[in-house]
Each structure stands twice: as C-alpha cells, then as structure tokens.
Structure 1
Amino acid sequence: MLLPESPFPNRALAALDSLATGLLAPSFWAINRLLDLQPTTARGGGGCRGCAGRALAAPALATLLLLSLPLATLGLLLWLPVQAARRPFVYQHAAGTAPAQPWDLRQRRTFTFLTANLCLLPSGLAKFSNLGDTPRRATAIACRLAPGSPGPRGHRDALVAPRHGHGHNGYGGTLCAPPPSPGSLRVEVAQPVPVVAQPVPVVAEAVPVPLAERLPADADFLCLQEVFDAGAAAILRRQLAGTFPHLLFGVGGLGLRGGRLKLLDSGLLLASRYPLLAARYHGFPNGAREDALAAKGLLAVQVLLGSTRGQRVVGYLGCTHLQAPAGDAPIRQAQLGLALRWLQLFREEQEQDGDVVAFDVFCGDLNFDNCSPGDELNQRHHLFEVYQDPCRRGPGQEQPWAIGTLLNYLKIYEEPVSTPEGMRRTLSQPGGRQQYLAGPILANGQPAPVAPGPWHGRRVDYLLFRQHRGAPPLRTEVAGVSFITQLATYSDHLPVALRLDVAPVSP
C-alpha cells in the first residue's frame, strides 16, 4: 500500500485549503481566545487582576469575531467542498531508513508500546479540562516523548534484544517479570513512600503499583490521542521524527462526512520505529453531541519487523478513541464492535502467504473503565474475549496493582501531583489514589458510591494484545506494564506502557 505523504492529491487543492483556512483564521482565533479567557486552577490563573484583564478582553474579542464573520462565511463555503478530497491520513517518514533486518525465529524479541491521551486541543477547548496553553504543553510533551538526540535507525539489537532477569528497570521505573498468564502477572515495585504534602487518609492496605516517573526511552510505538491542534501536531512531528522515522498524522476526514459536520480530525497520531507496510482509517458513523464534531474512528497499521527465509515478519496495531460522554455506553458498545470487525478485515486484506505475525495490539482511550457501575455494559464486551487485558481479571474486577489513568482534572495542579516524582509518591498510596484519580461513576455520570476494597480509579486508557494462532508458532507474553507520571500538569491522563516478549512456542 502506498501511504500518502500529503493531505491532498495535488497542489491546487492544497492551495485552496490554505486559502480557506486563512479566511477562517480570524474567527477561529477570536473564538479560541474568548474560550481561553476562562481560568484554570493553576497558580496565577485567577485573582482580581486576572478577572479585570478578562473583563476588558472579552468585548474586544467579541467585536473582532463579529467583524470577521463575513470572511469566515466565505472561507467555510470554500473549505467544505475541498475537504471531500482530503486523504484520511498523512505519512511522514525519514529518508534513508534501513530495510528490515533478518529475524531468527528461535530467538526472543521484545517490543514496547505506549498509549497516551494528551488533551492537545486548541487552548480554549483544553480549558474545559483545566488545561490550556496548548503550544507550551505540546513542546514540553514532545521533549519528554523523544528526549535528546535522534535515536538509532536501522539495526536495533540493543533495543529489542532479550532482557534477562526479573524486575528489569527498562521503563525508567518499575517492571514486572514475564508471567505464565496475564492473570498471574507479578509486579515488582519499590515500597510506597509518604506523600510530601498535606497527608491524605489511608482507606485500604497499600498495594504496590507499577508506577514510573519517566516515559520509556526504548518505546517502539507511540499511539497518541487528542492531538487535535494542528500546531501541536507539528511540534510533536518535528521532535518525534528523529527517534520515530515513521509517523501517521492528520487522521480522519474533515468537513461533511456521512451528512455530519466534522470540525476536528480524530486526534490520533501514531509513531513507529519500524516501517509501515499498510494503514487504514475507518470513521465511526455513530458519534453523538459534541463528540460528533470530531472524526473519531479506528487507525489500523501493519508494520514490518523483519524477515526470515524470504518471509515477512509483521505486526498489527490498532489505535482508537471512543465516544466520551458517560451516558453513551451503547454508542461505545457499537464502536467497539465496529473496531473489532475493521481490525479483522484489515488483517485479512494485508496478510500474505507465509507472513509471520509477531503481535496484534489494540490500544487507545476507550472512555470506560473496569470499576464503574455505569460502565458495566462496556466491561462485558466481546472485545475482552478476543484481546487480553493484562490489567484486569474479568468484568468489573481489576488486578490488585492496576490503577486508574484518568486524573481528577480539578486537582492536577495541586502540590502532591504537580511533579512526576510527587505524583508517583502520591499515587503509590491508596489514599492518594482516592484523592487525585477520577472515581467510579453511574450511568448518568454522577459519582458512584465507593465499594469496599482497593481503590483503582477509572482506567480508561488500554493496551490490549491477542495471541496469533499460526505457523511458525510464536507466543506473546507480557514482560512489563507501567503507569507513567512524567506528564504531570501537562495532561489529565496517565500514559500507559506495555512491553511484550515475542518468543517461539516451546515444544
């Protein structure tokens, strides 16, 4: 499959899109600045001086918006038809990347995956999640996802060689040893340390959790959600390109799609150290209310991992972001069904005779958890019979060490969770998790009564995998799981990392 390297098939359409975007820009800027006037709970975000400044700015911005409406109307009339020709994603790759290296199927190989919801919307919209200042946050996040000089390209034995021993500290935090099955995953972590701030009550026995302060430096694949802002996406692409030679961005169709207006793309961005053989995007047809304005859907890719005896060694990766509002469990249920069907069709379309499949991973922000009574419908979806979730034991039952990935957004700037180190210490305690993680909800989105037992919080960000039944037989095992605190104050979600070992099945 030839992956498109520009959003439009020719320069004329690209020029028309630029013209339309320019005509829309003043109105967009004014609306964004008006929304951006709302304060956050960050230090310095309020106060009388801030209120006075906002009171003076609001009328001026409203006047500018009214004056720009004629230009915006013309721009919209030009923008809508041009979007019909926009491609579903854009491929960015580094020139001169090395071909796939030989793979001895008798040896174990290891791959690291990271999923993260970054809340990189235009600053005014990000304020609804108590964030904002999107360009600054995008720069900080990009430097943390791909720090330092460009990573090695081509042959990467140092990054994918087998790792020996237990508790290998490859995530920059804690890891677990390969288990015989996901249900018996053993986590090795340091003992929790006290919170260096106002103490919170301990509500249950402390359970060690796999928390890490730093993002994995050896991540092979990044699956990012809510990269909606075009400027933020450009910042990420520039920084990630040195480490991840293969990126997909601008995912999803804009304009009128299926009779619905899409003002934002899907927000998905995928980065890979390995070459992409094929990619496919499918948009969900059933988005509702504010979510319907974004082109949410599924991005599926096939990656080339190596070759053996003339056969391709490939992996499959699916990334998505489901319907958000709490009361929309039936919509999410249908979206999960569509995603499963599309993933299977994609594999059937792309697999060639003799292909060796090393892994099949499905990830993203699914917007439901495994502890809320209101999410019971989604917790029992057929998805979990096809893909394995190493963080759960069954519907409504988490592993003892699993924790929520959705923060209490109103408290993200409070001192105990304002730094990666502080957040790790705080969330190492049951009381800290209960205070700073979003709690379980009812079907209407209201807080659910606290059930007895350990506090997990809402784990809405998932990294799932499934075994491949084929020849030659390879087995996928969980080598590590980590919840990462390095994006403290930059997002209202915790990134999640999963390390998989791929090895031959023992005779």
Structure 2
Amino acid sequence: MGLRESPYSNCVLGAMDSVLRHILFPSYWLVNQLLALQQTTQEKQEHQRGLPYALEAAGKGIVLVPLLLLSAPFSLLAFLLWLPLQAARRPFAYQHTPNQAPPDPWVLPGPAKTFSVVSGNLCLLPVGLAKFSNLSRTQWRAKHIGHALARAASGSPPSHEPGPRGDFQIGFSPSGVRKYGSMEASPPRSGQGSPQLSGDVILEVPLEEEGAAAGSPAEITTHFPPYADVVCLQEVFDRQASGQVRHFLAPCYEHIIYDVGTLGVVGCSALKLLNSGLLLASRYPVLAVQYHCYPNGTGEDAFSAKGLLCVQVQLGASQGQRIVGYLNCTHMHAPEADSQVRCDQLTLSLLWAQQFQDANTQPGDIVAFDIYCGDLNFDNCSTGDALEQVHEIFNIYTDPCRIGPRKDKPWVIGTLMNYLKIYSKAVSTPKRMQRTLTEPKGRRKYLAGPITEDGTPDPSVTSSEGRRIDYILYREHLNPLELKTVSQRRSALGGPLNAPLLMN
C-alpha cells in the first residue's frame, strides 16, 4: 500500500488543522511584518538616499502593533486547540503527482546505471526571520529557485531571464547544490545509452589532480545539474515558499516528501514553532519514510524541529529482488560554538539511519546507494570544529571532498558565504560570483573563514578556501549481486554555497 498523502489519518483532523491555521494566520503575518522592519544591508544602502527609515518603520509599527493586539486573543485560543492536534499528525506530508514519463526501472543483470542526488540549503524562511540572515523576498526567491530546479530536471538549458535589476540568470545555484560525492545524472529517457558495464553503479567524483595543479576549484557552475534523480533540500521552512517549490518540482518528480517535522511539544524536548525545513523530491517510488527530531537543540534552534529524514526508494529489480536506495537528509544545529551538540546529533543520526535500514530491508535487497547529505553546520578547516572533524561518521560514510581531519582535496572550496557581503557587486549576479570565486582573493573576501572554539573568526588563519559546511556522503553495501562503484574523471561543482540562490 502506498503512502498516505495527508499527515492526518482522516479528513476531519486535517480540516481542523486547516481551520486553526487560518485563524492563526493574521497574527503570524503581523509578527512576520514587524520582524521584517529590520533592514538588509542592501536596504540600508537604498534608504540612505530617501526618507529616514526610522520614520517609515515607526509608521508601519504604529499600524501593525494594534492589529496584532486585536488578533492575539483569537490566535491564542486557536493555538491552544492546535497544540494537542499535533499529537495525531504524522511528521511529514507526501505529494504524489502521477508522471506521464516515469524513469525506466533498473533491471539487473544489465547495463550500468547512474544516479544524481542534488542537495541544497535554500534559506526559505519567513521573511521576518530571513532578515536575520540578511535576506528578503522569500516568495520571489522560492518561485525562481523552483523554476530553475524544474528546468534542470527536465534537461532544459539554463534560463537567462532578467531579474528586477536587469542582470539576473535564473540558473544561478550558489546556495548549496552539491554534486561532488553524488551519484551523477541519470539521463531519463530512451535513446540515451548507458555504459554497457553489467552491475555497476557509476559514482562520479572529481579526481584530485583536476583543478589542483592551478590551485583552483574544478568547476563552479551557475546552474543546477541536469536530470537529477533525487533533490534533497534544507531550510524550506516557509509554507507558502514550500508550495511554490513543489509546484515547479511536481511535473518532474512524482514523489515529494515535505512539511517534515514534529510541531508543538510532540516528540521533542521543547516547543517547536517551525518544522525541520527538509524537503525531498524523487523520480523513483518511495517505499518507506521516517523522521526523527534532534532532542538537544538550544537557543534559537530549539524552536525548529531540526532532525533526520530517512527515505527508501525503489530503483528496479533483479531476479525478483528489489533494488533500493537510501537517502538520509539532515540539517544540524547552527550556533558555531556548540560542537558537542552537533557531535551528539551526528551520533544519533547514524543510529537512526541504521535502525531505519534494518527495519525496512527485505531479504535479498540490493542496495544501489546509501547517501547521507545536508547542511551539517561544521567544516573541515576550523580549529573550532575539531570535535566534529574526527567523528565516527567519516569512518562509516565516505566524503569524496576530504582527505582527512583538517584537510580537504585541493579542488574543494567553502560552501558558506559571508552573509554581510552577499549584495556586493562582485557577487551580485551568477556570472560575477562565478568569476569572483574562481580567484583565491575573491574566495578569501566573500566566503566565510575558519572559526575558533567560541565561534569567532580565527585570526591565526591567513589563507583559507572557506568553510565547507554542506556535505554529500555515501557508503557502499555488501549485496547479493556484486555491485562496484566506478569513479569517472569529471569536473564537478567545486563550490556550492550556503547562501540565497537568488538575491535580487
């Protein structure tokens, strides 16, 4: 039996949730607008030339605060009714859109098969919270990100439509598209042959010498990889933005897991007002899904249901046995100084991933891939992240960008931008960012640098390629039918960035 789409077991509970959310919405919107009165660095520059912003913000506040006070009693009552309802809610929703051209199932023995897994942090928070990361225009960004992902998924060439400032490329992907360490693209339609290697899963990883001689990344692209089989996204917190992204993904990805996380006080140690922000879209049928909430979030992270999403997909069959893949997508604790919190989350996630696989594996299953990906919020260059750098996960899963603790491959660059500089002219468009980050000087200036144990910049570091906090790891399994991984010589995305995909 397939997955139920609604997170509720019956329509009555679903309707109650919908009604209560509508009652809560006016207060949510008003709080969001009040928080959005803070300015991004770009807005501060623009307001220097006009009416003093303090006056404008005060005028808006005078209108918003009384309205919030008027709506508060109704919202409080709705909130008290909404909280216990969450105990009946499954911690994810499922969107199934029948596809007219589903991918051909993999049959073994037979030709080799390649798979592509894309991971990205989209920074799609409610705009009031996004302002704390120097971002704005959440819905606009969601629309264009979804459009760019859909074009890449269908194999369409990157669009070059102008943005509001007239110099914008829709295919821009600086916010964390990770292709290194992923299973590479699976051209989905007939007429595009695969290498005739029986029983191979082709894992495409850039070789160390590519780009290393010049001391530069192998490739920094301005568009998403084409024909991705699975898309794993983080920080899709805003419900309306999630709907925008899913609208564009649905024609290409038949199976979408979204609205992931436990809300209220269910299953976690503190009140959760935001879900996990995780979203997974797959071309292949989803067999099983499980979510776990990290119980040790602190500070601002305690209010979001960050956790681990485990998904099993069916890729094909071999002599009556299933060929499956496992995807483990996560977003970990953010405050830089909390290394022990992240280490505990890594340990928990390894346990949960193994338990999920043990519970859902059938005798004779052939595991084609086992991916662990997401925004882990630590790097392999900072002294402040030394604890995470030696975690057991790197003995179980392979990081193709890593040589060892504190040492990455020469072609790897950071994935975290200096958020205060994201509106600078040198990185204001995809092509400019590509040119800037190709140069060591540009990377030093616009990528976030290594940190110390208390989360402050490390003054002892004079040269850095930036903090790589986003990962795609993989591990191989023993299978009834022998599979081998073929590493092909290929350039890859050397510098995905944990920053807004679209900044106009």
Kindly provide the CA deviation profile for residues 88-117 of structure 1, in whole angstroms up to 9, marking residues without a partner as x.
111111226658624234532111111111
Q: Which residue of the partner structure matches residue 41 of structure 2?
A: 41
Aligned-partner residue type, residue 161 of structure 1: S
Do the aligned partners of residues 380 and 85 (structure 1) sit closer, same or farther apart at CA in structure 2, a change above 3 Å counting? same
Question: By how many angstroms is 1:346 displaced?
Answer: 1.1
Letter in 2 for 1:440: P
* Rounded Cα–Cα distance in structure 1 between residues aligned with 2:339 and 2:220: 29
TM-superposed deviation, 1:375: 0.4
Q: Deviations over 1:450-492 (max 9, x none)?
A: 4355x22010110000111222121234445314679985369
**Corresponding position: 1:215 with 2:215:** no
The whole-number CA distance in structure 2 between the counterparts of 1:220 and 1:155 is: 9
Partner in structure 1 of residue 237 of structure 2: 228
Cα 1:158–1:221, aligned 2, differ >3 Å: closer, same or farther? farther
Structure-1 residue corresponding to 2:87: 84
Answering whether residue 480 of structure 2 is matched by residue 471 of structure 1, we say: yes
- Provide the alpha-carbon RMSD of the alignment: 2.7
- Tell me the residue number matched to 2:260: 251
Structure 1 unaligned spans of 5+: 165-175, 192-204, 493-507
Contact 2:382 2:452 in 1 (8 A): yes
Q: Counterpart in 2 of 1:287?
A: 297
Letter in 1 for 2:149: L
Equivalence for 2:15:
15
Aligned with 2:455: secondary structure? coil
Map of 1:26 onto structure 2 = 26
Aligned to 1:504: none
Provide the rounded CA distance (Å) in 1 between the counterparts of 2:187 and 2:414: 36
Shift of 1:342: 0.9
Aligned match for 2:58, one of 55, 63, 79: 55
* Aligned partner of residue 58 in structure 1, secondary structure: helix
Correspondence 1:68-467 to 2 at 5 A = 68-95=71-98, 98=102, 101-147=105-151, 156=189, 161-162=194-195, 185-187=208-210, 206-257=215-266, 258-451=268-461, 455-467=464-476
- CA displacement at 1:209 relative to structure 2: 3.3
Mapped contact 1:3–1:90 kept (Cα < 8 A):
no
Residues 216-274 of structure 1 show CA distances to partners (whole Å, capped at 9, x for unaligned) of: 12111111000000000000111000111111001011111245211011000001111
Cα drift, residue 75 of structure 1: 1.2
- Which residue number corresponds to residue 493 of structure 2? 482
1:274-307 superposed Cα distances (whole Å, 9 cap, x missing partner): 1111111111111112111111110011111111
Q: Distance in 1 between matches of 2:431 and 2:450?
A: 25
CA distance in 1 between counterparts of 2:193 and 2:306 reads: 32
Shift of 1:86: 1.1
Shift of 1:312: 1.1
Deviations 1:178-214 (A, max 9, x none): 56xx8x544369x9xxxxxxxxxxxxx7424321111
Rate the CA distance shift 1:424–1:402 in 2: closer, same or farther, 3 A.
same
Structure 1 residues 452, 279: CA separation in 2 closer, same or farther (over 3 Å shift)?
A: same
Single out whichever of 151-160 and 59-68 deviates more from structure 2.
151-160
Secondary structure of the equivalent of 2:148? Answer: helix
Q: Is the 8 A contact 2:374 2:470 kept in 1?
A: yes
Contact 1:177–1:187 under 8 Å retained in 2? no
- Does the 8 Å CA contact 1:266/1:294 hold for their aligned counterparts? yes
C-alpha separation between the residues in 2 aligned to 1:21 and 1:344?
36
- What is the CA deviation profile of residues 326-352 of structure 1, one whole-angstrom value per residue up to 9, with x for unaligned ones? 111101101100111111111111111
Aligned length: 463
Once the two structures are superposed, residues 353-375 of structure 1 have per-residue CA deviations (whole angstroms, 9 ceiling, x without a partner) of 11111111100000000011100
CA distance in 2, matches of 1:86, 1:246: 20
Question: C-alpha offsets along residues 374-433 of structure 1, whole Å, 9 cap, x if unaligned?
Answer: 000001100000001011100111111101111111111111111111111110011000
| 1:177 Cα deviation after fit | 9.8
Q: Provide the C-alpha distance between the structure 1 equivalents of 2:227 and 2:211, rounded to a whole number of angstroms.
A: 20
Q: Residues 447, 102 of structure 1: CA spacing in aligned structure 2 closer, same or farther, 3 A cutoff?
A: closer
Contact 2:203 2:486 (8 Å CA) reproduced: no
Relative to the length of structure 1, the TM-score reads 0.85
Cα pair 1:118 1:226 within 8 Å, conserved: yes
Secondary structure at the counterpart of residue 227 of structure 2: coil
Instruction: Give the partner amino acid of 1:457.
Output: G
Tell me the SS of whatever aligns to 2:257.
strand
Where does residue 173 of structure 1 map in the other structure? none
Structure 2: distance between partners of 1:255 and 1:488: 28
Cα distance change of structure 1 residues 326 and 211 upon mapping to structure 2, 3 Å threshold: same
Given that residues 259 and 279 in structure 2 are in contact (C-alpha distance below 8 angstroms), is that contact kept between their aligned partners in structure 1? yes
Between stretches 53-62 and 267-276, larger displacement belongs to 53-62
Alpha-carbon separation, structure 2, partners of 1:363 and 1:384: 13
Name which of structure 1's ranges 277-286 and 96-105 shifts more when overlaid on structure 2. Answer: 96-105
